[in-house]
Structure 1
Amino acid sequence: MKPNDLKRRRSAGMRPKSRNMYRAFLSVSRNLIRLSIYNPFVLLWIVNLFVCEVWLSRAYIGRCSWPASDQDGANPIRMVVIADPQLTDSYSYSQSGLGLALTQFYSDLYMKRNFKVLQMKLEPDVVVFLGDIMDGGREWVDDQVFEEELQRVRRVFWIRNPKTRVLWAAGNHDIGFGNKVLPDAYARFRKTFGEPNYALDLANFTVVALDTVSLSGNPGPIHYEKARTFLDSFKGSALPIIERILVTCTKEIQDPSQKSRVLLTHIPLFRPHDAGCGPRRRHPVIHQGAGYQYQNLVVESLSEEILTKIRPSIVLSGDDHDWCEYTHRVDGVESIEHTIATFSWMQGNHYPGFALLTLPQAGTPTLQACTLAPQLRIYIWYILLALLTFLLLIPYAAYQIRRKSVSYVEIPLFGYNQLSGLPRRRSNGGERWKVDARTWRLVGRFIGEVLGMSLGMYMVLIMWDWIV
């Protein structure tokens, strides 16, 4: 049977609508192949867009796997830890209009894409957000503006599996810091995300979230007193009853006093000025410092009190936007603190990230740091590739004109097979690479083809990430 007969038989069994779509698909495919042969830069850009917009995010997240515990146990709790998404808004860069809309869109798109991929590939049991959910969260006096930003949060961090549990910690961008915590922002955070101080059992561990942002202020306000009462409920061994949430993840309930603790704090705990942060850090080490509504580290006395009373085996913190690993030693107890990099590409870290924490039924917790695709460098690469494409198109167009001996008006948009029968004209090397008006017109046509096909492909990929 001839190929054409097979195609006719294949299309004959389709409904009219499906048949038309099938024919349109074949027509577009043939034209795209012809276009790519005559203008290979179209294929170059299509492949490049697929790699940068689809493959890279999956490749980076695909390199990350759940860390194994030192003791094998059934049904470990797998936790994704995300810090400082700080959804970009009008507070971030004092933008408005189209500039703000584009900044918000590409900020959200990056995080939405990566959050979708990590859920599909890693299937976490728990997702933890270590504060600073929105960049201007504390600044929104108008509740309507806050609700609009909250819809962005829900759209970007849409939980695909209803069984996945989500935990939140309060950050200084959410409620303020210390004596400048805003009561309205604090109340709004509690209403939207829940209590900023809580403890819950997961596997053989107790996860303790402490509002160190409020606890860094002076006594008196309700936000301070709640955090103080919660911290004072810990006596170094027994769990507090106040605001405690018990989540049974095993068939047999463990003795709470025997459970190791995982501390969640937005602000990193104090460490010496010259303390290192490990090989993953790209910026200078964390130093104590303070300014409007922020402080780099919890003060030394409060940090020691927290470690003494809660006695965590592992501490998870954010705020700094870069990786840092440091081991605290208080009263003979070692607590390893992991400061998690920001999840956003617009917060000063070219390689954003997240962490995977495995909580086994027996043994010690293990953490794996994961890096996301460097979006800023991808955009820089687009610019460089565009310049390179333009520079290469000039000699390529000149070569095509001399090789085929055709004028610009003789080159159709589709049906490039017509060029194959054109006679070649002998020419010396200098004439073959000569750039004239016909060359520039052909360059313009090539650029139009590259732009048209690339923008079409780009819009399809973006819509796929945004809608699906």
Structure 2
Amino acid sequence: MSFIHERRARNSRLLSRNTTINLLRFFWVVLVIWCEFGVFFYSLSDCKWPDKELKEAGSTEKPTRVLLISDPQLPNPRRSGISWFGYHASSTRYIRKGWSVVTRLHPHVVVWLGDTLASGRYVTSEDEYENYVDEFKGIFTIDKSVPNYFVPGNRDVGLGESSAFSKNTRKYFTEYFGPVNQEIDLAGHRLIFIDAPGLVDEDYRRHGMGKQYETWTPAAGGPIEFIASVAIKGGRSLHTLDVPIILFSHIPLSRPASTSCGPLREKGSIRASAGYGYQNMLGKETTRFVLHTLRPAAVFSGDNRDYCDMTHQLPGTDVNVLAKTSIREVTVKSFSPSSHIRRPGFQLLSLIPPDSVVSPHGSTFADAHCLLPDTFRIFNSIYLPALVLTAIVLLYFNISPDRHRRRFSTLSPDSATRSRPSSPPPGPESAIWTNWSPRRSSGPTSPGSALPPSVRVPSAKEIFTFRALSSAPGSPHDSPLLSPIPLFHAGHEDEMDPAHYPSQHHSDHVWPSGEDVHEAPLFLPSPSARRSERKWLSWSWSFVFRGRRRRITIAPPTWGEIKKLYASDNGDSMSRGKRRGMLWRLGGDSVSVALPAVVTWALIGWLFF
């Protein structure tokens, strides 16, 4: 028996309320660490630089690694406000965690493909713009030896005419991020960064005057003049093969609406549209002018949020036999979370000098697509089921705490004996009738007079009971034996003494002397009396099931029933004061489970991100 009690005690400790709550705390701490921080490191487990593709071309040069980031769209803290919750706050935290993981790839160069600031075009004060840039640099920290090149986006410098746009936005962008149009030489390649929003604005002016690009006089310092100067400097106007050009533009180039973006795109394709402050593709004439003038080896763009990989085909009349007739364009995924995509991302680009390529058809660059975690899937597939499971467990332990305390209380062989009140010494008659009761009732008690003859025990037969007696001396095991002891004998007419009744209290009520009297001192109220109080608010349905008539009644809870959910009105007490209502206990347990996870989330985010 002791083994059974020990096993029950061990199981009760494992399934106790405190043990379960501690397990839930540990579960949520691990879950928060993984879903808020671990998934970012796990998402980069398959993200590697495409250096292997360049080695297959026979090059022994170490590739130059370029990190491409599109549309970070950092919110302005002065306009969006400082808050721990909300879309802007969660987006900023996501960007911060994503960038801290991406920098572990150790790029040599970082190229930003536009929309660096979410509301840079609205900033009219230089002090506010400077604080905005400081916020950006505080989040996107990187080694000072790594150069950064910025392509202007429509959210950075604006697009079109609007009184809400700042007149000095291009001046601020040039001062803090660099020229809006620029070119650099890197690993034997020429990287061209163009002002796509400015190109769209100039294209509108050209089209409004009804001129072609061949007869158009470019604006001084504008993107069209810059593209023409790059072509002349590199000899591109003569259609000769020169240093490979890689073009970077915030706005994608024009393409037919039916053009596929490849299997890596989440949904749809890029279609021509324009609106207030944006245009999602360059015009057809502008695209033809850019591709025909620069003849880039590849184009990388942004703005669309989703990934797109397509190829532009140049007409045969526009090129000679030595020039390329197809140009690949990659639209890089947005780095910040958006409702248009499930998983943000970025692009990796590796470059090697053209003279190091042994194979005549070998490529001098390669790129790879990388993804960041899906926050919507994390919430729907992990957080929501875990929240429902936790709520069920806490409800189970709080909906009836007394029952669970009795069920999971620690039992021992001596606990029942120690906790039971002292009982009178057993006598011959106490095996069946006794005047001791483990619980005294405050209600009506048994009468003190003799029972009527009709309900007395018949005296025709003997009634035997069994008592445990010690074995005779010399018994092998000294074990108790059961021996019958007659309590009532034939012919014994002894009436039952009222002292043998289970209650020690007596009342003035007496048993009726006759057998035909059936009156009772107390009656329960009629069931219909209570139903009539809420009859006008209740709904009932009667039906017959298995030969019996059934009734289902649905009624709103009364004020007293609602009050019991928050606080119990009985006099029982718990270890920490009076017993509280179910919702109060449930709320306390929920806070107790969530608090360690929230503290862990805030601490890790503050220390490492």
Aligned match for 1:227, one of 202, 206, 223: 223
Aligned match for 1:311, one of 291, 295, 316: 295
Displacement of 1:329: 1.8
Q: Name the residue aligned to 1:9.
A: none
Normalized per residue, the structure richer in helix is: 1
Q: Provide the secondary structure at the position in 2 that maps to 1:217.
A: helix
Q: Name the residue aligned to 2:369.
A: 369
Displacement of 1:134: 1.1
Q: Distance in 1 between matches of 2:185 and 2:132?
A: 31
Q: Cα deviations across residues 63-95 of structure 1 (Å, max 9, x unaligned)? A: 21111324233221111111011113479xxx8
TM-score normalised to the size of structure 2?
0.59
Alpha carbons of structure 1 residues 79 and 300: separation in structure 2 relative to 1, 3 Å: same
Q: Name the residue aligned to 1:301.
A: 285
- Runs (4+) of structure 1 moved beyond 6 Å? 220-224, 421-425, 435-439
Deviating more after overlay: 38-47 vs 171-180: 171-180
Aligned match for 1:158, one of 138, 141, 164: 141
Q: Cα deviations across residues 402-429 of structure 1 (Å, max 9, x unaligned)? A: 454289xxxxxxxxxxx7678999xxxx
**2:77 touches 2:132 (CA, 8 Å); kept in 1?**
no
Displacement of 1:198: 1.3
Q: Provide the secondary structure at the position in 2 that maps to 1:338.
A: strand
* 1:116 partnered with 2:100: yes
Q: Name the residue aligned to 1:415.
A: none
**1:269 touches 1:303 (CA, 8 Å); kept in 2?**
yes
Displacement of 1:385: 2.7
Q: Distance in 2 between matches of 1:312 and 1:327?
A: 12
**2:397 touches 2:404 (CA, 8 Å); kept in 1?**
no
Structure 1 unpaired stretches of 5+: 1-33, 241-255, 408-418, 426-434
Q: Name the residue aligned to 1:83.
A: 70
**1:39 touches 1:446 (CA, 8 Å); kept in 2?**
no
Q: Provide the secondary structure at the position in 2 that maps to 1:149.
A: helix
Percent identity over paired residues:
26
Q: Provide the secondary structure at the position in 2 that maps to 1:151.
A: helix
Displacement of 1:298: 0.5
Alpha carbons of structure 1 residues 420 and 142: separation in structure 2 relative to 1, 3 Å: farther
**2:40 touches 2:372 (CA, 8 Å); kept in 1?**
yes
Q: Name the residue aligned to 2:462.
A: none
Aligned match for 1:66, one of 49, 56, 60: 49
Q: For residue 57 of structure 1, what is the amino acid of its counterpart?
A: F
Displacement of 1:191: 0.8
Alpha carbons of structure 1 residues 96 and 132: separation in structure 2 relative to 1, 3 Å: closer
Q: Name the residue aligned to 1:212.
A: 196
Structure 2 unpaired stretches of 5+: 1-16, 207-216, 358-362, 417-564, 569-579
Displacement of 1:451: 1.7
* 1:50 partnered with 2:33: yes
Deviating more after overlay: 340-349 vs 366-375: 340-349
Q: Distance in 2 between matches of 1:175 and 1:42?
A: 48
Alpha carbons of structure 1 residues 43 and 206: separation in structure 2 relative to 1, 3 Å: same
Alpha carbons of structure 1 residues 208 and 109: separation in structure 2 relative to 1, 3 Å: same
Displacement of 1:239: 6.3
Alpha carbons of structure 1 residues 224 and 422: separation in structure 2 relative to 1, 3 Å: farther
Q: Distance in 2 between matches of 1:348 and 1:420?
A: 56
Q: Distance in 1 between matches of 2:99 and 2:82?
A: 25
Q: Distance in 2 between matches of 1:36 and 1:223?
A: 74
Aligned length in residues: 393
Q: Provide the secondary structure at the position in 1 that maps to 2:197.
A: helix
Q: Provide the secondary structure at the position in 1 that maps to 2:248.
A: strand
Aligned match for 1:138, one of 90, 97, 121: 121
Displacement of 1:440: 5.6
Q: Distance in 2 between matches of 1:264 and 1:309?
A: 15
Q: Provide the secondary structure at the position in 1 that maps to 2:73.
A: coil
Displacement of 1:206: 1.2
Displacement of 1:335: 1.3
Q: Name the residue aligned to 2:158.
A: 176
**2:235 touches 2:242 (CA, 8 Å); kept in 1?**
no
Aligned match for 2:179, one of 184, 187, 195: 195
Q: For residue 395 of structure 1, what is the amino acid of its counterpart?
A: Y
Q: Distance in 1 between matches of 2:246 and 2:81?
A: 43
Alpha carbons of structure 1 residues 222 and 196: separation in structure 2 relative to 1, 3 Å: farther
Displacement of 1:393: 1.9
Q: Provide the secondary structure at the position in 1 that maps to 2:327.
A: strand
Displacement of 1:196: 1.5
Q: Distance in 2 between matches of 1:35 and 1:342?
A: 46
Displacement of 1:449: 1.8
TM-score normalised to the size of structure 1?
0.75
Q: Distance in 2 between matches of 1:36 and 1:168?
A: 55
Q: Distance in 2 between matches of 1:422 and 1:447?
A: 32
Alpha carbons of structure 1 residues 339 and 35: separation in structure 2 relative to 1, 3 Å: farther
Q: Name the residue aligned to 1:270.
A: 254
Q: For residue 232 of structure 1, what is the amino acid of its counterpart?
A: A
Displacement of 1:144: 2.4
Q: Name the residue aligned to 1:414.
A: none
Q: Name the residue aligned to 2:575.
A: none
Displacement of 1:280: 1.5
Q: Distance in 2 between matches of 1:365 and 1:280?
A: 20
Q: Provide the secondary structure at the position in 1 that maps to 2:257.
A: coil
Q: Cα deviations across residues 1-56 of structure 1 (Å, max 9, x unaligned)? A: xxxxxxxxxxxxxxxxxxxxxxxxxxxxxxxxx96665321111011101101210
Displacement of 1:394: 1.6
* 1:449 partnered with 2:449: no
Larger RCO: Structure 1 or Structure 2 (Cα < 8 Å, ≥ 6 residues apart)? 1
Q: Provide the secondary structure at the position in 2 that maps to 1:216.
A: helix
Q: For residue 122 of structure 2, what is the amino acid of its counterpart?
A: E
Q: Distance in 1 between matches of 2:63 and 2:80?
A: 46
Bigger CA radius of gyration? 2
Displacement of 1:355: 0.6
* 1:353 partnered with 2:335: no
Q: Cα deviations across residues 202-229 of structure 1 (Å, max 9, x unaligned)? A: 1121111111211122369997743122
Deviating more after overlay: 102-111 vs 56-65: 102-111
Displacement of 1:148: 2.2
Displacement of 1:450: 0.5
Q: Name the residue aligned to 1:107.
A: 91
**1:321 touches 1:348 (CA, 8 Å); kept in 2?**
yes
